[in-house]
Amino acid sequence: MQTRRLGNSDLHVTPIGFGAWAIGGGGWAFGWGAQDDADSVATIREALDLGINWIDTAAVYGLGHSEEVVAKALEGVANRPFVFTKCARVWDEKGQIGKSLKAESIRRECEASLRRLKVDVIDLYQIHWPEPPEDIEEGWQAVVRLKEEGKIRWAGVSNFDAAQMERVAKFGPITSLQPPYSMVRPEVEQSILPYCLANSIGVIAYSPMASGLLTGAMTRERFAALPADDWRKKGVNKQYQEPLLTRNLNLVERLKAIGGRHGRSPGEVAIAWALRHPAVTGAIVGARRPGQLRELVGAADWRLTHDEASEIQEFLAANPG
Spatial neighbors of 251 by CB under 8 A, at least 6 apart, are: 183, 184, 214, 312, 315, 316, 319
CA 193 to chain centre: 16
113 close to 87: Cβ distance less than 8 angstroms: yes
Q: What is the dihedral of CA 269, 274, 276, 282, to 10 degrees?
A: -110
Catalytic residues: 61
Q: Which amino acid is at 243?
A: P
Query: Which among 293, 34, 258, 256 is positioned nearest to 284, based on CA atoms?
Result: 293
Q: What is the DSSP string of 233-298?
A: GTT--GGGSTTHHHHHHHHHHHHHHHHHTTT--HHHHHHHHHHTSTTEEEEEEE-SSTTTGGGTGG
Q: Which amino acid is at 169?
A: A
Tally Cβ neighbours within 10 Å of residue 92.
Answer: 9
Cα-only R_g, the chain: 19
